[in-house]
Chains A and B, each alone.
Chain A
Amino acid sequence: MPTSYSDTYFPVLVQIVIAVIVAAALVAISFLLGKHVKNRVKDSPYESGIAPTGSARERFSVKFYLVAIVFILFDIEAVFLYPWAVVYRELKLFGFGEMLVFVILILVGFFYVWKKGALDWSHEAPGDSPYGDPDAAPQSSVTKNAA
């Protein structure tokens, strides 16, 4: 029964080395075994058969950044929950109260983010999307045209 840190973590180290070797071999082997024929069309980015237009490194929706930022906040919360859960049977109701306060503070932030619309991916600002609101009832435009 290994007890020291080096005994416990040595197998993890071995596994990491094995995994790195296997993964490197997978990437290298096709490069070494496969044949190489290059031409200009084959090298161009795939865009459904038409010649690519513009750069691929375009601007993308700011919502991806928002999600990443919000995630960091809530992930730290989850990390705090783990040690709390492990010693919970010693804390009992005291631990519950403390965590309830913490979680409520976090949830206030969560509702703020929610109401600000950071979690809503379908509604853009008016005029932002050329395709309109995907959740809008389909008849509305028809009735408008009829009137």
Chain B
Amino acid sequence: MVKLITKEGLIPSHVNKLFYLMAPFVAVALGLISIAVIPFGPEITIGPVTTWMQLTDLRIGILFVIAVSSVGVYGVALGGWASNNKYSLLGGLRSSAQMISYELPLALAVAAPLLLANTLSFRDMVNYQSGYWLGFIPRWNLIPEIIAFIVFMIAGFAETNRVPFDLPEAENELVAGFHTEYSSMNFAAFFMAEYSNMVTVTAVATLLFLGGWQPPFPAPYSDVVPILVFALAGLIAVYHGLHPARRMDKFTLPATGLVFLGIAAIFGLSLFVPVLKTILMALFWFCGKILILLFVFIWVRATLPRFRYDQLMRFAWIFLFPLAMLNLLATSLIVALTTK
């Protein structure tokens, strides 16, 4: 990225300059804005101050994120049109058609957990998912709303233009799609926007379906997990450092191992400091879930081939949209019959 900054910011003479520069700007700005309403943890009290680990809790937080992310399509469409290049135009068109098509299943999938929790605030949504069924099954929306979760993740892949839905940048037909004519930091801006959108989508999936910062096991067991994870990672790193495969491993791996062991020690100490414990546990579980979902994104990219464009559109409209609709109706019927 630092290298890309120093590259020549080429503005070709055939582009529409205003919109050409506005497109990466819009993409990045919108990618960053939606972080404002994502909560990272529960209520904490440090001395006299009681606060939430969140910038602000909008009562319409979920609507806000969906609204901001749906404006994101302008970045791609503007970039594709302003570049004045056939590949870019086609890439931009495809991308905007794909993003609005997958926004419908996404919106319907989000409505299903709303039916259960009856709130548009992320904080209340996570609080609704606290506790356990039978003492050990977490009360996450994932379990009753597994179909909605799957639809949400598939639509999320398409919304962020990731493989297997990266048709707008299909290299073998469209060179690079809507960012063919972009160079330097303007080019990197689109990718920063894409990755920040990925984080937003996974964060929203975690908050809506995976219980946010709630641990998957009851408290006494879940408190030990981070210590074990980091200690194990540290020990593995130290072990490989003692049996180096490359020359530098002798120094880098033990250093990494010590850092991990230090983090494990901090988690261990935090068990005796309630405030620190609340903060660290919430961060550990929330970031852990997000990282697992991001791992799935990368995993899918390495596994699946790309869709054909007509398959992509048919999948969205004729399979995903009715599926999300039926799931929503079934959920609402069950909720209506079980609510006293």
Contacts and interface: CB of A to CB of B under 8 A. Distances in A.
B293 to A, nearest CB: 23
Interface residues of A, number: 70
B100 A68 contact: yes
Contacts of B4: 30
A75 to B, nearest CB: 7
Nearest to A53: B86
B169 interface: no
Interface string B313-327: 110011001100100
A26 B335 contact: no
B93 A43 contact: no
Contacts, number: 210
A23 B86 contact: no
Interface SS of chain A: helix
Contacts of A119: 313-314, 317-318
Contact of A71 (B87, B100, B119, B192): B100
Given A15-B35, A15-B55, A56-B85, A103 B329 contact: yes
Contacts of B11: 31
Interface string A1-36: 110000011111011101110111011011101111
A138 B30 CA distance: 46
B5 interface: yes
B181 interface: yes
Contacts of B104: 71, 74-75, 78
Nearest to A16: B33
B57 A8 contact: yes
B184 interface: yes
A30 B55 contact: no
Contact of A114 (B37, B310, B318): B318
Contact of B185 (A9, A26, A48): A26
A117 B168 CA distance: 23
A10 B55 CA distance: 10
B277 to A, nearest CB: 22
Contact of A44 (B14, B63, B87): B14
A48 B8 contact: no
B336 interface: yes
Nearest to B99: A71
Given A16-B36, A88-B332, 6 more contacts: A26-B185, A27-B189, A48-B175, A81-B328, A89-B335, A107-B325
7 contacts: A1-B50, A23-B32, A31-B9, A75-B100, A78-B107, A79-B107, A134-B310
